[in-house]
A and B are shown apart, each in its own frame.
Chain A
Amino acid sequence: MIIHHPILGPRDAQEFVYLGDATLIDRPDGMTAGVEAFHDYLYNRDNPAGEHRELWYHEQGDRSWLVVTRNTVTHEITKVELARDVARARGRTK
């Protein structure tokens, strides 16, 4: 698979480390969210067959985190964003 890095252009997926579903960006506040909510965040996944937004880390590159939109049935990648931009757009400060 080739991941079109927003800054570095087309890069082989082998340069990246895969973390998982991009909902991991939305970590609940551990002090206020209940145990159930944190359990759901940490362990449960939608795991869809089809379009999936997921986190990849460019370990052997610029060490940026990316949100890659990829089809889990065809492996086709349709969108690549910097995770930083995605998180800021969702109201996170960093």
Chain B
Amino acid sequence: MRYSGFRVIAEALTGHKGWKPVWRDPAPQAEYDYIIVGGGGHGLATAYYLAKEFGQARIAVLEKGYLGGGNVGRNTTIIRSNYLLDGNEPFYEFSLKLWEGLEQDFNYNSMVSQRGIINLIHTDAQRDAATRRGNAMIMHGADARLLNRDEVRAMYPWLNFDNARFPIKAALMQPRGGTVRHDAVAWGYARGADQRGVDLIQNCEVTGMRIENGRIRGVETSRGFIGAKKVGVAVAGSSSKVMAHAGMRLPIESHVLQAFVSEGLKPLIDGVMTFGAGHFYVSQSDKGGLVFGGDIDGYNSYAQRGNLPVIEDVAEGGMALMPAIGRVRLLRTWGGIMDMSMDGSPIIDKTGIEGLYFNGGWCYGGFKATPASGWAFAHLLAKDEPHKTATAYRFDRFLKGRIIDEKGQGAQPNLH
């Protein structure tokens, strides 16, 4: 079924009796050409682009729980391409361009809203760094603007501009950045993949990998063995657990990142704002809640829930920036598990095992990467060579000293 305004009106006039389940619930077949492990944003996007852009068939997505039940449904929905380094910026700009055409492409309303993102600047050194980053973005075809203090004040007059420690001096803006309805991304990709014959198999946990003579033959699952010519793993958060089935140790630690939403407010913030110095970023949902977050908790965790000190730290950051929210109540907090890599950048690469491919290490920036990650991973799976925007995302970059460390923190995952 194709969705359209006409369809909505027609269904409204006929009692909404025509809507059908959006995807099938197939039993796993004995063998596929491609198995994608992980039915989150990246896995579903991979399956969608494998079928649509690379003309492949006999594809299955295996998901331990339900589709989109992991980080694609737990993030703060921000899209942007404001990176500095050559290894990153072309990839994230490719992703942002895919976001811009996504809803038309998969015929699903994912509420892509390019409301603009600003990174606040408090010192001359920060302004220099932001200018450099903005120029790097422009050179890779992205958009960037340096706002002065008055321009920031015109947008958000109620910010605490004269904070003694972090006075707001300027901001780097990417007007094309924004937010997307995160769940709808998973659903849109799932529907699009299903329409193209991809089997989306839920409640199917991978419990082992069958590897013979250095080649993958398939995966053992909670629903039996499923054969495959190629297996792509896209399970960020649980990458180490799944790849351990293939005997691999990864340059990744799993960490918990918390996110927060306040009670609904009248329109206050029409874009996305980051206050890096205060470990705080915020946007406002269409329902009115302030959606915000800060740093990861900082210790290895698979718990999908964080601890109170980070909640306090984030709340303090919010108050320092926006004293006006002092009496706003926090509605919910939750946590998701991040693949924190050793240089803060992702991996999309082959492994030492023929036919086994890996996509992970997204740190806390996986959501904005979803379309390009799926496209690049599908490219790698179908053609056995990396997509041109993802050539730097290799396992061996650590061995060869070609790390992509935006923050310059070194091999310390909890500092990225």
A: residues with CB less than 8 A from B are 1, 12-14, 18-21, 35-36, 39-40, 42-49, 52, 54, 70, 72-75
Contacts and interface: CB of A to CB of B under 8 A. Distances in A.
A49 B254 contact: yes
B179 interface: no
A72 to B, nearest CB: 5
Contacts of B241: 49
B16 interface: no
B211 to A, nearest CB: 19
B250 A44 contact: yes
A75 B304 CA distance: 11
B399 A75 contact: no
B412 interface: yes
Nearest to B248: A44
B301 A47 contact: no
A58 to B, nearest CB: 14
A1 to B, nearest CB: 6
Interface centre among A18, A36, A74 (most CB of B within 10 A): A18
Nearest to A42: B411
Nearest to B300: A72
Given A46-B249, A47-B253, A54-B299, A20 B412 contact: yes
Interface residues of B, number: 25
Contact of B252 (A12, A13, A39, A45): A45
Contact of A74 (B249, B303, B342, B414): B303
B303 A18 contact: no
A14 B303 contact: no
B307 A75 contact: yes
Contacts, number: 68
Interface in B94-147: none
Interface of B: 238, 240-241, 244, 249-254, 298-303, 307, 309, 342, 398-399, 411-414
A72 B240 contact: no
A49 B250 contact: no
Nearest to B309: A14
A75 B301 contact: yes
Contact of A73 (B302, B411, B413): B302
Nearest to B298: A18
Contact of A18 (B238, B244, B299, B342): B299
A35 B399 contact: yes
A46 B413 CA distance: 14
Nearest to B302: A49
Given A1-B307, A39-B398, A45-B240, A54 B251 contact: no
A82 to B, nearest CB: 19
Nearest to B340: A47
B95 to A, nearest CB: 26
B254 A72 contact: yes
Contacts of A12: 309
Closest 6 A/B residue pairs (Cβ): A47-B240, A43-B251, A44-B249, A49-B302, A43-B398, A18-B299
A17 B399 CA distance: 27
Nearest to A74: B303
Contacts of B253: 20-21, 45, 47
Contacts of B298: 18
Given A39-B399, A43-B342, A43-B398, A72 B303 contact: yes
B300 A20 contact: yes
B179 to A, nearest CB: 31
